[in-house]
Every structure is written in structure tokens, then in C-alpha cells.
Amino acid sequence: MSSWGDRLNRLTGRTRFVVCRLFMHLAGQEVAPLLGILNRAGREAIEADGDINILGEGLVEICQNLLQNDTYWQSAANEGDVFWSEGEAGDFVNELFTDSASRYLSEPDFSQPNTGRDEPLTLPVTRNLVVMITIAYEGEAPELEGDLAELSALKAGLKAIINLHYQERLRAIQVHFSPARLGDELTSDQLLLNFPELIPL
């Protein structure tokens, strides 16, 4: 399926970079605990100050938890592109970062404590959670380079992301999620409005 240009670039020894973004929608009252895992990974990512190994460990934990909660998967989507220039790949990563961060309630504020004195003791529990994973990697990962809006393909894609970390092929990692913190809610209408690309599994 590779194009003539891809084959030529391989022959000249150029490095192949893939940038891809995966959307996953989970639904049910049991998805709320995943917010804790996502927020903890987010805080660790900030403290890691860009250390790809620490970011990768957090990503592995997220992917493993998503795989364990497959009964709550509702819909998914993915997109990506192949680059032969690290700079162009980096530009696309930044573009996807900006888009993911602009989605409804997907930018947590880790500078604030989780609970404040004036907050109620009981918080509304969201029934919808969308996780957006953006990665850049070197080489090929066929499991991530096709349509992942199908149950077995999505499972294979998450396992491939885990393997890319252990193979030390990840070059960029970003995770956004909506809603961004416990107590915020993502309604069905907001889901349709802000994540129109999602395809039912």
C-alpha cells in the first residue's frame, strides 16, 4: 500500500515519522474512576518536563486501563499522516494538540488543587468520557495506520501504542480528555457537538 514516494524515501534512508490521534468515547457511571488515572498521568507528565520515558509509562497505564474497560467503549475515530521530515511531523503534532485542547472541557488545570473549601461534598458524576491520544513515532505500526473505529482494531491499536513505548519508538505523546476533572460533565449534546468524528463501535 506504500506509495512510490514512500519507497523512494526508504531507499534513500530517510526516517519515517507517523503522527496519529485516536478518539475514544466511553459511557456509563463506571467511567468516572478513569478520570483519576488520567489526571494523575497528566500531573506526572507536567512534573516529568517532557521526559518521553515517563510520559510513555503514563501512556501505557492509560492504554491498559482503557483495554480493561472495553465494556464501556461506545465510539471511536482516528486520523493521522506520514512524514519524512521531523519538523513537519512536529508541526502536525502541535496542530493536533491545539485542536484537542480546544475541545469541550479537555484542558485540566493542574495548578489548582482537586478540591476546594467551597466545593460541595458530592460531585455530579459524568456518564460520558472522551479520551484523545496523540502520538508521533518512528517507523511503521500497521495496527495504527488504518481505521480503528471497530472493536478488534481498536484493541490492537491500543496494544500497538504500548509496544511502541517499550520499543522506544515514541517521539511525542499527548493525552487530552473531556471532561477534564471530576465534577465536570460531558452531556450527550456536548458530545455530538464537540466530537462529530466519533463512529459507533
Task: Give which of 11, 90, 81, 7 is closest to 50, Cα–Cα.
Answer: 90
Report DSSP letters for 80-148, one per residue.
EEEES-HHHHHHHHHHHHHHHHTSTT----TTS-S--TTS-SS----SEEEEEEEEEEES--GGGSS--
Q: Looking at residues 75-98, what average pLDDT do you find?
A: 96
pLDDT digits (tens, 9 = 90+) for 19-63: 999 999 999 988 878 888 998 998 888 898 889 999 999 999 999
In a domain, 3, yes or no: no
Give the C-alpha separation, 89 to 7, whole Å.
19
Distances (CA, A) of 184 to 53, 65, 128, 178: 30, 21, 10, 9
pLDDT tens figures, 165-185: 999 999 999 999 999 877 788
Cβ-Cβ contacts under 8 Å for 18 (sequence gap 6 or more): 80, 81, 82, 83, 89, 136, 137, 139, 140, 141, 144, 145
Query: Is residue 75 domain-resident?
Result: yes
Res. 195: pLDDT tops 60? yes
Establish if 194 belongs to a structural domain: yes
Cβ-contact 75, 192 below 8 angstroms: no
Task: Answer yes or no: is 186 within a domain.
Answer: yes
Range of 100's domain?
20-108+131-200
Asked if the structure places residue 175 within a domain, the reply is yes
Cα separation, 65 vs 10, in Å, equals: 36
Residue 138 covered by a domain? yes
Q: Which of 35-39, 104-108, 112-116 has the highest mean pLDDT?
A: 35-39
Split at pLDDT 50, 70, 90, the class of 155 is: very high
| Overall domain count for the chain | 1
Residue 124 included in any domain? no
- Examine residue 195 and state whether it is found in any structural domain, yes or no: yes
